Amino acid sequence: MTVLNTNHILTFSCIVSAAVVILGRTCSCLQFTYPNFNTSQKDDFSFSPGSSITNGSLYITPNTGNISHQSGRVVYARETLKLWNSKRTSLTSFRTEFVLNILPQNGSAGEGMAFILTNNPSLPSNSSGQWLGVFNNQTDGAFENRVVAVEFDTRKSYKDDLDGNHVGIDIDSIKSVDQIPLSNQSITLSSGSDVWVGIKYDGTTLLFEVTLIQYSTSGQQHVSGVSRLIDLSLGLLDDIHLVFAGSTGDFTQLNQIKSWNFTTIDNVGRGHGRKVLLALIVLTIFALCLFAVLFMWRRLTRQRRLAYRNLEKMIDAHGPVKFKLKELRRATANFSPTRKLGRGGFGTVYLGYISRMNLEVAVKRVSTNNAKSDRGEQEFVAEVNTISKLSHRNLVKLIGWCHEGAELLLIYEYFPMGSLDKLLYASARVSNLSSETSVLELTWERRYRIICGVASALDYLHHGSSKRILHRDVKTSNVMLDEDYNARLGDFGLARVIQHDGVTHHSTQAVAGTRGYMAYESFFTGRASLDTDVYAFGVFIMEVVSGRSPSSSVSYRNQDESAGSTREAMYIVDWIWRHYGEGNVLAAADTVLRGVYDKAQVDCAVRLAVACCHPNPRERPSMRTVVQVLMGGAPAPEPPYVKPAFVWPPSGSQSEIQLPHVGLLFTGGQTSFCSMTSTSLTGR
Ligand SMILES: *[C@@H]1O[C@H](CO)[C@@H](O)[C@H](O)[C@H]1NC(C)=O
Ligand SMILES: *[C@@H]1O[C@H](CO)[C@@H](O)[C@H](O)[C@H]1NC(C)=O
Ligand SMILES: *[C@@H]1O[C@H](CO)[C@@H](O)[C@H](O)[C@H]1NC(C)=O
Ligand SMILES: *[C@@H]1O[C@H](CO)[C@@H](O)[C@H](O)[C@H]1NC(C)=O
Ligand SMILES: *[C@@H]1O[C@H](CO)[C@@H](O)[C@H](O)[C@H]1NC(C)=O
Ligand SMILES: *[C@@H]1O[C@H](CO)[C@@H](O)[C@H](O)[C@H]1NC(C)=O
Ligand SMILES: *[C@@H]1O[C@H](CO)[C@@H](O)[C@H](O)[C@H]1NC(C)=O
Ligand SMILES: *[C@@H]1O[C@H](CO)[C@@H](O)[C@H](O)[C@H]1NC(C)=O
């Protein structure tokens, strides 16, 4: 270890070069700009019969001859969009902008146009009229269409169509999953004047956003838009064609695209040919220098390194900021009790103010008992390491950390609104005071968005990155709210990283969690798993829908013909399952909502919740499926009407032993399921 070994350098630079070459090759960096269109560029596109480049614009449907009952498509033909980013760590993010102009030819417009992402670029037959050149009578609704479309509809042509001037998002069917009227925003698609359209997709958060802008003759700007969580990988395959489609019917219009640009946003390097070569050389040289410097530095700081070895080794070079204890003491008024925000995970959380960043933060001080033990430090390092690699808009961001002496501290984003449980139960209190005037903060719309957000975050943890991450403590007090009432899932104190490979590692040791959110089987296995997270998420939905705490029993009114109504104490899972089984899903909704909610969404949420809380872990949906259902990409599950008895081990394994209804075991109030030894229950 005295000289810089040349073999090391060579090996290292080879690895770097290989990495750069691989990144360069698989880079999905589709990008183009057409300020206008010129007939000399016609080879960049493929046109269906009658569509063309005319007068500097793309004409999606014919502009001469018989223009009624026509449909057409223009496909960008030079390259396809890759579904995944180059590292295949997330879906490709992209941004596209175009200017459309729709000119009616018969006074009234018909029918509309669409921007579509699809694996099937060719124009379907008989796709004129209401089908917008995207679907036809036979293909409508079929998964095989592999179409995600933004429609610009200028005619109401069937029952579910909103009106003759709307924008909508269509997935495999002309019946939009979301549609927004434009007339009340003073935007008219078919006015013959330009409409600027921007579409943005974030491959990690799955947010698909459409924005429309039109200027009135007086120069006033009118803006509208629609957005939705869409997991493109559920419907689309890898090579995605970018397509404009349009149609006419009895009434006709010219469907024009005047300019268009498209950019993929990939956090991995982009560039071609010489740029890649140049980057490779620069990077190699840089890496060599870095390597040499690191090597020297490591030797010089060997002593210090030993002290911190466990910690430093595991924290990414680009990881969170390292703070000095002194600064954090100052930021939290020396951990003053008045700054205490609460207790969570295995430590206390304080409000801090970092003056050099002008930033309010939440400082989690890992309790000294934990910190002293080996286990505390290990968990701390695991937490820092895991969280620093995660980035999702529904996760609380880790800003930094500090480890000095026996003090272990984590610094997180601070959310002044606090955690969801506070608001959930505060709003219940308000309604008890029966003040009709008080404004309900947690409206159904917000609750549903919170459920979607937490689902998306969990899906990201479970399936979104190369490592599987369990949350292990999903509950309302671990969900923060930002100022727009978006959910931010926090507290990964218990998170453990599980590799994808190795079948035996799909669960981890050391059961942890919060009563009321713990799945039945965890009392037997003593393990957390993807399934126990899903169970906790099911309870979470129930809590958000009903505004009732899972740790206390609720009374259920039995409508008994003979005895009038009797009451029975039940825990939330049984309570909601009972309502579901009786086809009375809406009775589970929080009374403070006063019936103001989207019935279909409540129904969907309750079905999902019940499915997630299935006693048999194998029957629970994955978070992937949950997200798919929440965004309307899959039908809501239909769990059995009567909660099945808990059987351990789950059916399929040998030596099944039937247990009494678990609800009964729980209704004994504090009678703990845990207190029975697993041997007495499993007979093993
Ligand atoms: C179209 O492109 C050709 C060749 O690139 C050029 O000569 C011509 O001026 C362009 N026409 C327009 C309208 O831009
Ligand atoms: C193209 O421009 C010419 C001349 O300005 C005009 O006569 C013609 O109608 C235009 N064609 C279309 C389809 O707008
Ligand atoms: C125009 O074309 C459509 C579709 O091919 C056809 O249904 C319609 O009858 C035609 N109209 C005229 C006037 O030729
Ligand atoms: C294209 O991209 C540029 C910025 O890259 C933007 O300014 C312009 O408005 C975009 N839109 C169109 C339709 O060209
Ligand atoms: C629209 O115009 C075309 C030709 O100008 C005509 O054939 C057609 O009948 C008109 N349609 C309606 C509904 O007026
Ligand atoms: C298109 O419609 C015509 C008449 O409506 C029908 O004869 C033809 O079979 C249809 N084609 C397809 C592919 O459905
Ligand atoms: C297709 O069209 C025929 C007649 O035009 C209609 O009877 C049938 O219901 C349509 N099918 C669908 C799936 O819309
Ligand atoms: C326009 O109307 C729709 C539905 O009627 C409504 O949801 C939306 O909030 C309205 N927008 C404005 C700005 O009034």
pLDDT given for residue 341 in this prediction = 87
> Can you tell me whether residue 106 is helix, strand or coil?
strand
pLDDT tens digits for 1-14? 444 454 565 455 54
The residue nearest atom 3 of ligand 8, judged by CA position, is 181
pLDDT given for residue 683 in this prediction = 31
Q: What is the Å distance from ligand 6's center to 53 Cα?
A: 28
Compute φ and ψ for 222, nearest 5 degrees: -115, 130
195-213 burial by CB neighbour count: b if 16+ within 10 A, else e?
bbbebbbbbbbbbbebbbb
More confident residue, 159 or 113: 113
Q: What is the Å distance from ligand 8's center to 679 Cα?
A: 61
Of 234, 263, 298, which residue sits at a domain end? 298
Cβ–ligand 2 contact at 101 (below 6 Å) = no
More confident residue, 510 or 543: 543
Q: Looking at residue 387, which CATH number applies to its domain? A: 3.30.200.20
Whether residue 324 is found in the same domain as residue 267: no
For residue 298, pLDDT over 80 is answered with no
Q: What is the Å distance from ligand 5's center to 317 Cα?
A: 68
Query: Which tokens hold the place of 153?
Result: 């509809």
Domain membership of residue 280 (yes or no) is: no
Ligand 2 atom at minimal distance to the Cα of residue 59: 13
**Residue 217 pLDDT grade (very low, low, confident, very high; cuts 50, 70, 90):** confident
Number of compact structural domains in the chain: 3
pLDDT tens digits for 221-240? 999 999 999 999 888 998 99
488 membership: H or E segment, kind and range: strand 487-489
Q: What is the Å distance from ligand 8's center to 398 Cα?
A: 38
pLDDT given for residue 519 in this prediction = 86
- Residue 325 in contact with residue 409, Cβ under 8 Å? yes
Any idea which of 304-313, 396-405, 498-507, 540-549 has the lowest mean pLDDT? Answer: 498-507
Whether residue 468 is found in the same domain as residue 519: yes
**Residue 319 pLDDT grade (very low, low, confident, very high; cuts 50, 70, 90):** low
The residue nearest atom 13 of ligand 4, judged by CA position, is 98
More confident residue, 465 or 250: 250
Cβ–ligand 2 contact at 54 (below 6 Å) = yes
pLDDT given for residue 168 in this prediction = 95
Any idea which of 149-163, 168-182, 513-527, 625-639 has the lowest mean pLDDT? Answer: 513-527
Whether residue 466 is found in the same domain as residue 352: no
pLDDT tens digits for 348-380? 889 999 888 788 899 988 765 544 445 556 666
Q: What is the Å distance from ligand 7's center to 136 Cα?
A: 10
Residue 340 labeled ligand binder: no
Mean residue pLDDT across the chain: 80
Is residue 473 flagged as an active site residue?
A: yes
What range does the domain containing 369 cover?
Answer: 313-413
Domain membership of residue 328 (yes or no) is: yes
Instruction: Please give the DSSP secondary-structure letter assigned to residue 636.
Output: P
Domain membership of residue 428 (yes or no) is: no
Q: Is 512 exposed, middle or buried (0-12, 13-18, 19+ CB in 10 A)?
A: middle
Whether residue 258 is found in the same domain as residue 317: no
Give the whole-angstrom CA distance, residue 387 versus residue 392. Answer: 11
User: How far from 394 is each of 425, 451, 490, 563, CA to CA, in Å?
Assistant: 22, 11, 9, 49
Percent of the chain scored above 70 by pLDDT? 75
More confident residue, 358 or 194: 194
Cβ–ligand 6 contact at 125 (below 6 Å) = yes
pLDDT given for residue 646 in this prediction = 86
Of 263, 298, 333, which residue sits at a domain end? 298
Domain membership of residue 284 (yes or no) is: no
pLDDT tens digits for 552-561? 776 665 544 4
Q: Looking at residue 586, which CATH number applies to its domain? A: 1.10.510.10
Whether residue 400 is found in the same domain as residue 438: no
The residue nearest atom 5 of ligand 2, judged by CA position, is 55
Whether residue 589 is found in the same domain as residue 633: yes
pLDDT tens digits for 406-438? 787 888 889 988 889 888 887 555 544 444 445
Q: What is the Å distance from ligand 5's center to 140 Cα?
A: 27
pLDDT tens digits for 138-150? 999 888 899 999 9
For residue 76, pLDDT over 70 is answered with yes
More confident residue, 237 or 441: 237
**Residue 301 pLDDT grade (very low, low, confident, very high; cuts 50, 70, 90):** low
Whether residue 88 is found in the same domain as residue 225: yes
pLDDT given for residue 403 in this prediction = 81
The residue nearest atom 10 of ligand 2, judged by CA position, is 55
Sign of CA dihedral 413, 416, 420, 421: positive
Cβ–ligand 8 contact at 644 (below 6 Å) = no
Whether residue 385 is found in the same domain as residue 510: no
Whether residue 437 is found in the same domain as residue 385: no
More confident residue, 428 or 599: 599
Q: What is the Å distance from ligand 6's center to 125 Cα?
A: 7
Whether residue 406 is found in the same domain as residue 448: no
Other residues' Cβ atoms within 10 Å of the Cβ of residue 635: 10
**Residue 254 pLDDT grade (very low, low, confident, very high; cuts 50, 70, 90):** very high
Give the whole-angstrom CA distance, residue 105 versus residue 65. Answer: 13
Any idea which of 24-38, 186-200, 563-577 has the lowest mean pLDDT? Answer: 563-577
pLDDT given for residue 657 in this prediction = 43
pLDDT given for residue 329 in this prediction = 93
Give the whole-angstrom CA distance, residue 246 versus residue 112. Answer: 6
pLDDT given for residue 513 in this prediction = 67
Ligand 2 atom at minimal distance to the Cα of residue 254: 13
More confident residue, 347 or 188: 188
If we measure between CA atoms, which residue out of 506, 390, 496 comes closest to residue 89?
Answer: 390
Any idea which of 181-185, 190-194, 206-210, 491-495 has the lowest mean pLDDT? Answer: 491-495
Q: What residues does ligand 4 touch, defined as CB less than 6 Å away?
A: 33, 35, 97-99, 259, 261
If we measure between CA atoms, which residue out of 82, 34, 79, 31 comes closest to residue 58?
Answer: 34
Whether residue 87 is found in the same domain as residue 215: yes
Cβ–ligand 1 contact at 41 (below 6 Å) = no
pLDDT tens digits for 37-63? 999 999 999 999 999 999 999 999 999
Could you give the residue ranges of the DSSP H alpha helices within 359-441? Answer: 368-372, 374-388, 420-432
Ligand 1 atom at minimal distance to the Cα of residue 36: 14
Domain membership of residue 308 (yes or no) is: no
pLDDT given for residue 438 in this prediction = 53
Give the whole-angstrom CA distance, residue 530 versus residue 521. Answer: 12
Name the active-site residue from 231, 473, 531, 533.
Answer: 473
Domain membership of residue 259 (yes or no) is: yes
Give the whole-angstrom CA distance, residue 82 versus residue 96. Answer: 15
pTM greater than 0.75:
no
Domain membership of residue 592 (yes or no) is: yes
More confident residue, 523 or 644: 644
Cβ–ligand 6 contact at 69 (below 6 Å) = no
Ligand 4 atom at minimal distance to the Cα of residue 196: 13
Q: How far is CA 131 from the centre of its chain?
A: 30
Place of tokens 């669409």: 114
Whether residue 352 is found in the same domain as residue 466: no
Give the whole-angstrom CA distance, residue 658 versus residue 62. Answer: 69
Ligand 3 atom at minimal distance to the Cα of residue 128: 4
The residue nearest atom 1 of ligand 2, judged by CA position, is 55
Domain membership of residue 121 (yes or no) is: yes
Query: Which tokens hold the place of 560?
Result: 């008994």
Cβ–ligand 1 contact at 40 (below 6 Å) = yes
Ligand nearest, relative to CA of residue 41: 1
